[in-house]
Amino acid sequence: MKLKYLLFALGLMAICTSCVKPEEVSSESEYPFQNPSLQIEERVDDLVGRLTIDEKLNQLFNKAPAIERLGIPEYNWWNECLHGVARAGKATVFPQAIGLAATFDEDLMLRVATAISDEGRAKHHYFADNDARGIYMGLTYWTPNINIFRDPRWGRGQETYGEDPFLSGRMAVNFVNGLQGDHPRYLKSIATVKHYAVHSGPEYTRHVDNIFVNDRDLYTTYLPAFKTAIEEANVQSLMCAYNRFRDQPCCGSDLLLGKILREEFGFTGYVVTDCGAISDFYKKGYHEVVESAEQGWGWSLAAGADLNCEESRAFMENADSALHVGILNEKDVNLSLSRLFKARMQLGLFDPPEMNPYAQIPMSVVGSEEHLDLSLEAAEKSIVLLKNDGILPLDKGQKVALIGPNANNFSVLIANYNGDPIVPITPLDGFREAATDQLVYTPGSPLVPGIYSDHRVIEAERFWHEKEGERVPGLKARYFKSTDFSGEPALEQVDPNLDLRWEFSPVDGRMDVPFSVEWTGYLEPEQTGNYVFQGNVIVELNGIPVGDQPLPLEAGKAYELKATHVVKDFWWSSNYQQQFARLSWFDASRDLEAEALEAASVSDVVIFCGGISANLEGEEMPLETDGFSHGDRTHLKLPAVQEDLLAKLHETGVPIVYVNFSGSAIALNWQQENLPAIIQAFYPGETTGRALANIIYGKTNPSGRLPVTFYRSVDDLPPFLDYQMEGRTYRYFQGKPLYEFGYGLSYSDFRYADLQLPSELASGESITVSATVTNSGNVDGREVVQLYISDEEASVPVPIRSLAGIKSLDLKAGESQTVSFVIKPEQLALIDKDYQSKLEAGKFQISVGGSQPGQKALTEGSVLSASVTLKD
């Protein structure tokens, strides 16, 4: 795989040999800012100096309009690529961020991010070539999310790299480097670390929360990943959070944006606000720290927030008077503009494309074989084996009952902030590939009562319309240039069913333009049942709106259908690049439990794909049901409808391999006690099914590690809104977890020997640590080596232990390899009683192994520990 990327890089270099040089285009420049032979600072100063105040202010919003008199096209700063280019049509979908973290693999993270930025660059230039410059088309990505996943109830924790500051920092550095590239002149794209700072739920109160923690928690838990990304990866953008911190909104915090970010961390890029965060300054029921939009905007600019993710209208209405009285300061405006235009110039957006090798990346990289192979590798390495009593790997000759609401659930592949996968493979698809006629499938239950996962697109055979009194297949479709169905249709045709995608607008053949469409005809079910509908179209049957409740339909009866859909630009989100219409259904009258028990009765083994999905946990969602509230979770239990089914399947005596899909920890207490094998899959991306089958059948040896603690109960946790770290995560939790951070099994055994480190060292010295790792098993495998530090004589509260090093080793059966780490002096520092960073003399325990010390030992000799004394 590395060779493929080297060849691709060499290809770019070859392309670049024909690139024009800056001096070759300077004579063609009308203005100095257009002259690529000048220094960026000189070009930026020239450009900002040419703008009117109205032009300046309008450029400070995510949807920056064109400045036609200067030949500057519009630019929308909002784009996403959390685990693949998102919301912009087809793209390779890699495992969700929490799954990428579970690989504990820095090199893999760099390769994944490089692939994502390849696809992002290709898509950006493809859009620009088609004169499309809307949302999700730029090169400024609002990712990665490096907040600490401090509490498993947080629905957006799936977007993070877990609960540990060191792991989050290492993953962030490699992801940022992969996105931003390594060209001496140009940025490949721009990464944005978010959400700064002290931000991790609850979702429902994020617009009003006022968080307080002391400097010890601030500097040892909430800020390290940001500091690492800035100092080691030179990340060029940062997003400030919705909440307040110590009474000031994060997007107006002098402490966070000024003293810490710019002065202490040396950040030189630009700051973008979370979307709508400045409105939270003044809106009733939110922070209410100012009285008007202009006051909030002026405050945020003065504090150092450069780009406002909002509609400009409310802020521009009184901008002139705000400037006149000093609520807005033009000096602050110019500084923010300089940062923003510098970023666009670093991306090469003001230079001829021929100068920029990244502008030559072709669209053929999107969903390429290499990227799909990489997606599979990442998926396999992200899956964590939690328990195996010897049942795994399975024999392919066994008859398998594949059961569970996530066995054919598309959403567990893609999670949230996702693209449209190239070749999505659900667990059902993967096991059909692997088990062929040895497989029987049923979903067995809903995810939670009333929420079904195995919807299928309504087949074309179920739709028809009348033409001259005759029954004709398909639906009559009328397409309008308007978004309210007004005017005469621009296009009339027959669409076979409601499973459509448009790369270009059907009304005029262009990208990035709004339209609306209306379908009429009849829906005729083949079977009688209570049907639950799902999709992004608005539907009426016999004049009655179709909601989210089951609708009784009779076989052979024709129901008059009207469906509508609008493709429209919204400031909060846009489906311009997700121009699709889809309507699917599920027959909720099926006796799913009976189907599951029947499937088990004719099988040798049950593979149960359960858990939750990103339709239940995520960002500020309306859903409220048992266990879930507004995107967050209210307890850690598996939904009761699934646990009840598992218990009944267990009673049959057929062994069960339980596969849990979730972006957060589930209390799998019953499963651990009763089932022979448990797998944590997170949300593994578009190759989910193939990766899972490869692991279960032994083609791939599992190697994932948990990036979060799996607790036994929500009762083990402090209150959700308490941001103090005491009692949270493996670093401070005093109880006994179900599965600890860093835990994960293999089909191999790995033993450690010959731990080497000094017994004493002077203050300020680094420590070199080494150990020999041997694969003592019978199969080749990958071992994730983890180094932990415990300060055993600290004078102030410190973590029980902290991760301080990770290395991945691929070892053949019987092979040994020596692994080395260097512990830097600052990794031994603490925050003293005066809340200052300090190296304090004393004894430290250093542990190297395949898991944490003193926890679930994987095998005897799987963790080695020794002490080192730090002298004054």
The residue-averaged pLDDT of 494-520 equals: 94
574: pLDDT strictly greater than 60: no
Summarised one tens digit per residue, pLDDT across range 809-856 is 999 999 999 999 999 999 999 999 999 999 999 999 999 999 999 765
Residues 702, 800, single domain; the answer is no
Which CATH number is 639's domain given?
Answer: 3.40.50.1700
Specify if 743 maps to a domain: no
Residues 463, 448, single domain; the answer is no
Specify if 846 maps to a domain: yes
The residue-averaged pLDDT of 129-135 equals: 93
Active site (catalytic) residues = 274, 617
**Please, which pLDDT band fits residue 18 given cuts at 50, 70 and 90?**
very low
**Please, which pLDDT band fits residue 2 given cuts at 50, 70 and 90?**
very low
DSSP assignment, residue 372?
H
- pLDDT score, position 15: 45
Q: Per the structure, how many domains does the chain have?
A: 4
Q: Quick check: helix, strand or coil at residue 54?
A: helix
Whether residue 592 contacts residue 443, with contact meaning beta carbons closer than 8 Å, is answered with: yes
Specify if 232 maps to a domain: yes
Angle formed by the axes of helices 165-180 and 224-233, to 10°?
30
| Alpha carbon distance 186, 279 (integer Å) | 34
The residue-averaged pLDDT of 188-211 equals: 97
- pLDDT score, position 859: 55
Summarised one tens digit per residue, pLDDT across range 644-655 is 999 999 999 999
Which residues have CB under 8 Å from 183's CB, separation 6+? 357, 358
- Single-letter amino acid code for the residue at 847: S
- pLDDT score, position 29: 76
Specify if 13 maps to a domain: yes
**Please, which pLDDT band fits residue 643 given cuts at 50, 70 and 90?**
very high
- pLDDT score, position 689: 98
Strands 248-249, 244-245: pairing is: antiparallel
**Please, which pLDDT band fits residue 572 given cuts at 50, 70 and 90?**
very low
Specify if 402 maps to a domain: yes
Radius of gyration of the chain, Cα coordinates, nearest whole angstrom: 28
- pLDDT score, position 4: 45
Which residues have CB under 8 Å from 280's CB, separation 6+? 207, 208, 242, 249, 286, 287
| Alpha carbon distance 558, 140 (integer Å) | 49
513: pLDDT strictly greater than 90: no
Which residues have CB under 8 Å from 484's CB, separation 6+? 516, 566
Give the pTM: 0.96
14: pLDDT strictly greater than 50: no
- Going from the C-alpha of 486 to that of each of 479, 508, 515, the distances in angstroms are 10, 16, 10
Strands 580-587, 529-535: pairing is: antiparallel
Which H or E run contains 499?
A: strand 499-501
Strand partners of residue 855: none
Domain that holds residue 243: 2-85+93-363
Residues 74, 196, single domain; the answer is yes
Residues 136, 229, single domain; the answer is yes
Tokens of 736: 């006994």
Which CATH number is 39's domain given?
Answer: 3.20.20.300
**Phi-psi domain of 285 (left: phi exceeds 0; alpha: psi -120 through 50; beta: other):** left
229: pLDDT strictly greater than 70: yes
Summarised one tens digit per residue, pLDDT across range 435-483 is 777 899 999 999 999 999 999 999 999 999 999 999 999 999 999 999 9
| Alpha carbon distance 98, 707 (integer Å) | 7
**Please, which pLDDT band fits residue 568 given cuts at 50, 70 and 90?**
confident
Whether residue 770 contacts residue 807, with contact meaning beta carbons closer than 8 Å, is answered with: no
The pLDDT > 70 percentage for the chain reads: 95
Whether residue 827 contacts residue 804, with contact meaning beta carbons closer than 8 Å, is answered with: yes
- pLDDT score, position 872: 85
The residue-averaged pLDDT of 644-671 equals: 98
Mark which of 551, 567, 587 sits at the end of a domain: 587
Mean pLDDT of the chain: 95
Which H or E run contains 272?
A: strand 270-273
Mark which of 587, 607, 631 sits at the end of a domain: 587
**Please, which pLDDT band fits residue 10 given cuts at 50, 70 and 90?**
very low
Summarised one tens digit per residue, pLDDT across range 22-33 is 656 555 679 999
| Alpha carbon distance 528, 684 (integer Å) | 36
Residues 813, 717, single domain; the answer is no
Residues 345, 424, single domain; the answer is no
3-state secondary structure 119-161: HHHHHHHHHHHCCCCCCCCCCEECCCECCCCCCCCCHHHHHCC
Strands 830-831, 837-838: pairing is: antiparallel
Mark which of 333, 363, 393 sits at the end of a domain: 363
5: pLDDT strictly greater than 50: no
Residues 439, 552, single domain; the answer is no
- pLDDT score, position 576: 46
Summarised one tens digit per residue, pLDDT across range 406-439 is 999 999 999 999 999 999 999 999 999 997 778 9
- pLDDT score, position 24: 63
Number of neighbours of residue 763 by Cβ within 10 angstroms: 12
| Alpha carbon distance 658, 673 (integer Å) | 12
